[in-house]
Amino acid sequence: MNAPRQNADWKNGLDVISLQHELARCCGLSPTDWSALLRRAHALETDPFDLAMGEGLIPESRFLEALAGILGAQFMSLAPPAMPGTVGDEAFAMRSYRGQDVMGDLLRVMAPSGAQAGLLLRQLLEGRLPPLALVTRQALLERLIEQDRDRMARRALLNLPEALSARPPIPYDSGADGLKEARAHQTGLMIFALALFLALTIAIIYPLYTVVLLPVFMAPVFVVAGIAVLIAAMLSIRPSRAVPPLHSAHLPRYSVLVPLYDEANIAPQLMNRLRMLAYPRDRLEVFLLVEEDDFTTLSAIRKLALPSWIHVFPVPGGSPRTKPRALNAALPFCTGDLLVVFDAEDSPDPDQLLRAAALFAQTQGEVACLQARLAIINPRDGFLTRRFAIEYAALFDCTKAGAARAGWPVPLGGSSNHFRLPVLRQIGGWDAWNVTEDADLGIRIARFGWRVEDLPSTTWEEAPNTLVAWLHQRARWMKGWMQTLMVQSRMPLQLMSQLGITRMAIIASMGLGTLLGALLYPVFLFAILVRSLHPSPLGSGALLLQLGDWLLVSGISLALMVEIIPATIAIIRRRAYFLLPWILLAPASHMLVSWAAWRGLWELLNKPYHWNKTAHGAANTEGGLAPAEWDRDFKVALHARIKSRAPRGRASYR
């Protein structure tokens, strides 16, 4: 690195612009490169040094060393201790805090952006620069987390009011009274489980009652849910609205959260996928959320050359150890206008953030979240992945997309949720105690008066290809749905006033239909078997038996339509015709889902907050589903804009 001139009065007669030229020279930029960078930064309405660091033209450490040399400040690899009372997230947003050096003297610790560097240069010229230590943003982050970890850990667990959280009424360590209330909470769950078990027993001992009574009691739930799914599937066929891409200068800042746990094996692939995101690097920040004692994953990530816009966030320890707890820990540190959550194995469309920013700009103010379409990347790995691909295609391409267009509450998928960050903070973030925090958050968004909209962009995910892994994941989902329904039904009158009768009926029937359909699936099969073997023909006998027959036949017909129509629409749109015959094997996969549901109920009683980790990186094949042809005009316009603004082959979006 070229060192700045050391003469004490070398800066006499200079202005900030001259010092910036000197800083660029010390960073290794030629006058020609610096002039080109200035022109591009002016066109994109950003700082030239932020643009250079974001695109990798200048490493952050080299920029800080050069700036420290000009300012006469220290550049430190480890951030010094912060003064007591420093709030970590506020200091990180300001990129600065009051600290102490090894001698105990006060100094200002900063991880300055390019724009802040200009202010420091002005302070230097005006002779009012305080004692200063410069550190990288990663070093600043780690110091603030270390000193504020206890408060952060507690806030991540207790961010929501008790009425909106699945946590026990009193924390575990609250003494005898808390233990009594926790036991009372568990007793209620045991009563529910016992009632289901008795229903199953009665079905076996008195099969005719099952044939008659089960359709009578369950028909309203399944009819409303089935009709809602079919309406959503029809609504999803409508073309998406035309959304032109935003100019780079108008793009908002974006925060990306990627929770990781025991993911060392896929760390390099994850970095490659993050680098493929087509978004201006000076407006992008990525946090890799890694548990502080997950040393294997931390080591694997730190061996990689991370760009300045990717930060490793060591999540303070706490219990329960769940994905939403990690997300809550990082949420206050996010400085973007928009935020998205990706899973470790996700491969989003490179232009997904650009699409989301453009759609947010066009949607009305009540849209708080965009849900991208999740699709399976390894459908050819076997029966489980084929069925998984069919279910995901029907769910995200049809049911959720149509529900969003209808303005209904949308239980979110666990990945590729794009939020307006101020709204996400306003509604409390995620519930750290809910193991399907995504579904819970989607309903809470609707309860607070906001909407979820469909984002026509694909994120590719890996489906479990072994029965053990599949069962772990599906049992967690079922357990989380039980938690979600219990939380949302605590104050039914309030829920009705917030959602309205129609939307409440739709989301309640879908949730109950999913859970009860899974738990009672063997009972339904048993009822069908008993009725088919009964000597009296369908529609004959006592009036109650005739009613049961009619509801049973109607229910089976509706279930077949719900199973076939959305899946067929989605599979044809994805041009995965080889999956069409596998739609007919739904009964076999539903037996496995029932197994998972009963296991989820057992876990809810015994270990309600345990997170069944899904292993990634086990896919044997890739491909089989095509990207749906959504918003072709957006892709054409985006490609033209990137091409026209790409100096010397470098895309301005990158």
Tens of pLDDT, residues 530-581: 777 777 776 666 676 677 777 777 888 888 999 999 999 999 999 999 999 9
Q: What amino acid occupies position 392?
A: Y
Q: Which domain holds residue 27?
A: 16-147
Q: How far is CA 434 from CA 163, 559, 574, 605, in A?
A: 13, 29, 32, 14
Decide if 406 is inside a domain: no
Q: How many CB atoms lie within 10 A of CB 636?
A: 11
Residue type, 41: A
Residue 252 contacts residue 277 (beta carbons within 8 Å): no
Residue 267 forms part of a structural domain: no
**What was the pLDDT predicted at 179?**
43
Q: State which H helix or E strand residue 297 sits in.
A: helix 295-302
Residue 442: φ, ψ to 5°? -60, -40
pLDDT at 203 over 70: no
What SS3 state is found at 109? strand
pLDDT at 61 over 80: yes
pLDDT digits (tens, 9 = 90+) for 466-500: 999 999 999 999 999 999 999 998 889 999 999 99
Domain count, the chain: 1
DSSP string, 114-136: HHHHHHHHHHHHTT-PPPEEE--
The per-residue pLDDT for 285 is 96
pLDDT of residue 181: 43
Could you report the per-residue pLDDT of 387-409, keeping only the tens digit for each? Answer: 999 999 999 999 999 999 999 99
Instruction: Tell me if 123 is assigned to some domain.
Output: yes
pLDDT at residue 642, as a whole number: 55
Residues 6+ apart with CB under 8 A from 142: 79, 312, 314
Tell me the pLDDT band of 650, cut-offs 50, 70 and 90: very low
pLDDT tens column, 274-290: 999 999 999 999 999 99
- Quote the CA–CA distance of 59 and 51 in Å, as a whole number: 11
Closest CA to 311 of 342, 286, 343, 283: 286
pLDDT at residue 566, rounded to an integer = 96
The answer to whether residue 654 scores a pLDDT higher than 90 is: no
Structure confidence at residue 173 (pLDDT) = 45
pLDDT band at 63 (very low <50, low <70, confident <90, very high): very high
pTM of the model: 0.89
**CA dist., res. 397 & res. 240, Å (int):** 12
Question: What's the pLDDT at 172?
Answer: 45
Residue 629 tokens read as 């042809």
393 contacts: CB under 8 Å, gap ≥ 6: 375, 376, 567, 570, 571, 573, 574, 576, 579, 625
* Residues 165-173: contacts with CB under 8 Å, at least 24 apart: 165/431, 165/432, 165/433, 165/434, 165/487, 166/431, 166/433, 166/434, 166/440, 166/483, 166/484, 166/486, 166/487, 166/608, 166/609, 167/431, 167/432, 167/433, 168/433
Report how far residue 140's alpha carbon sits from residue 184's, in angstroms, rounded to the nearest whole number: 45
Q: Facing residues of 311 across strands?
A: 287
In a domain, residue 542? The reply is: no
**Predicted pLDDT of residue 246:** 86
Percent of the chain with pLDDT over 90: 63
| pLDDT for 209 | 62
Question: Does residue 483 belong to any structural domain of this protein?
Answer: no
Strand partners, 459: 348, 374
Q: How does strand 96-100 pair with strand 106-110?
A: antiparallel
Residue 213 predicted with pLDDT over 70:
no
Quote the tokens at residue 144: 């603030």
Looking at mean pLDDT, say which of 251-260, 261-270, 597-606 comes out highest: 251-260
Question: For 347-375, how does the pLDDT look when each residue is reduced to its tens digit (9 = 90+)?
Answer: 999 999 999 999 999 987 789 999 999 99
Percent share of the chain, pLDDT over 70:
85
Is 210 part of a structural domain of the chain? no
**313 pairs with which residues across the strands?**
289
What pLDDT is attached to residue 648?
40
Give the mean pLDDT of 201-216: 64
Q: Which two tokens stand for residue 325?
A: 């707890």
Give CA–CA dist 255/354, Å, rounded. 13
Average pLDDT of the residues in 594-600: 94
| Mean pLDDT of the chain, nearest integer | 86
Q: What is the largest CA-CA distance in the chain?
A: 107
* Chain-centre distance for alpha carbon 407: 21
Q: Per-residue confidence at 66, pLDDT binned at 50, 70, 90? A: very high
Q: Is residue 99 part of a domain?
A: yes
Rounded to an integer, what distance in angstroms lies between the CA atom of residue 22 and that of residue 25?
5
CA-only gyration radius of the chain, Å: 28
Domain presence at residue 83: yes
Of the two residues 651 and 134, the one the predictor is more confident about is: 134
Amino acid identity for residue 606 in this structure: N
Grade residue 464 by pLDDT with cuts at 50, 70 and 90. Answer: very high
* CA separation for the pair 600, 621 (Å, rounded): 29
At residue 629, the pLDDT reads 58
pLDDT of residue 639: 60
pLDDT of residue 175: 41
d(CA 375, CA 574): 10
